[in-house]
A and B are shown apart, each in its own frame.
Chain A
């Protein structure tokens, strides 16, 4: 090693060596990639040809002046609903404009449930039982609303703050998707093969349509927070927190709060538990006092609107595919649940 290396450089070099030693094999099947890529490219081409056909028909029908207007205006039209936000303080949900093109949490749970049933049956056909808690939990239909509420803007919904504080202790976690205890568990090659095989069966795949957009979806919340209006909203929230002996801990994440020792998440062991529900309630009250959620969600919506307008046909197609998968999931649960 070079003598020019600093202690940081040396530690990073050791870290890189460590990562090389422990990185597991990550399987890549180029055949599957090429087949999926061809299908996606063909779908894009068909979509483009469809658009060209509409243009040709329009001109043929004498609609050239109107079509010229369409082609001259490069910015697609933003509809009023593209900026519409619903903050539901009864159920703790937030619906941003882009959310309307994807399944709700409850609908996602229905699809996961159907998929879990199909995975379970597939494994059983091969003589195995899926037993870990995360997967088994999906075999139980999700009938209750999520008691935690939407936390994309931190803790803001008072019933959730009062009951759970910053954490989610006491929630049937796997069912509500707030824990990922199985994430790092090592598995044998045989396990992976069975699960891969089952995951690729048409019975399971029917529940997971392709929902990728042609363009990467920006981090709209991040963009809103980085704007001057977003920073002003955060400052107002922080000023309220300070009057209650709390303050933002930005390096811990967007919504991390501390009293100087304990944190809303990741309190050092010497200080004990994380901040409790009383602090979460203060936090939620401060957010309400400065209208933080309303202000920020509207900023996010204003940024989503032109994105939606630019990708409306793709998003609409995704929503149709997701609706179809949801219908199939409900039929499957009716038959197999």
Chain B
């Protein structure tokens, strides 16, 4: 019987080599993926689960993903996840024991307020608009890259991005310090 950690993968290279490579990739990519997931979901716990799931799928496809752009692969999996289904399915894990103190400390109140505004504003976009706005403006991809990630036309990205951005701007206002949006 072959030991689990020295199995040879069909595409060449030992499992340990691939695991080491994958682990290094995760260390470099987890910040970007975590931010994208949070912007798509508005919840850190759900985002952590989405990132984990996207990374598991990237691991399974690693021989293929590593040959091109593994970050783009993982981001594509993440952006196309059925977030609504996850939200319904795993909501109970988001529960909070009453005995815990409120985490919104006074010195973090502005951050909490801004975070709340952003979460609420993003939640007003349709799922598709939100995906496009997050990838195009907050992750900073080109229209062509967003279209490839989401499997839609560049024209669709342009229109969704334009509508989404104008809605987001309406809800968030000028974004100057101390000013808030229309809601």
Chain A residues close to B by CB (< 8 Å): 8, 11-12, 14-16, 18-30, 32-34, 36-38, 40-41, 44, 108, 112, 115-116, 119, 123, 128-132, 134-135, 138, 177, 180, 182-188, 190-192, 194-195, 199, 208, 212, 216-217, 222, 251-253, 266, 269
Contacts and interface: CB of A to CB of B under 8 A. Distances in A.
Contacts of A212: 53, 57
Q: Which DSSP category, helix, strand, loop or mixed, fits chain B's interface? A: helix
B60 A41 contact: yes
B56 interface: yes
Nearest to A116: B92
Interface string B82-113: 10000111111111111111011000000110
A298 B32 CA distance: 40
B140 A26 contact: no
Q: Which DSSP category, helix, strand, loop or mixed, fits chain A's interface? A: helix
B46 to A, nearest CB: 8
B119 A30 contact: no
**Chain B, interface size: which category?**
35 or more
B70 interface: no
B12 to A, nearest CB: 15
Contact of B60 (A8, A37, A253): A37
Contacts, number: 192
Interface in B38-74: 38-39, 41-48, 51-53, 55-57, 59-60, 62
Contacts of B23: 30, 34
A128 B80 contact: no
Contacts of B47: 26
B92 A184 contact: no
The listed residue with most A CB atoms (<10 A of its CB), out of B4, B30, B46, B183, is: B30
B147 interface: no
The listed residue with most B CB atoms (<10 A of its CB), out of A19, A112, A131, is: A19
A134 to B, nearest CB: 6
A266 B182 CA distance: 13
B158 interface: no
Contacts of A119: 92-93, 95
B165 interface: yes
Interface string B2-39: 00100000000000000100110011001001110111
Nearest to A130: B95
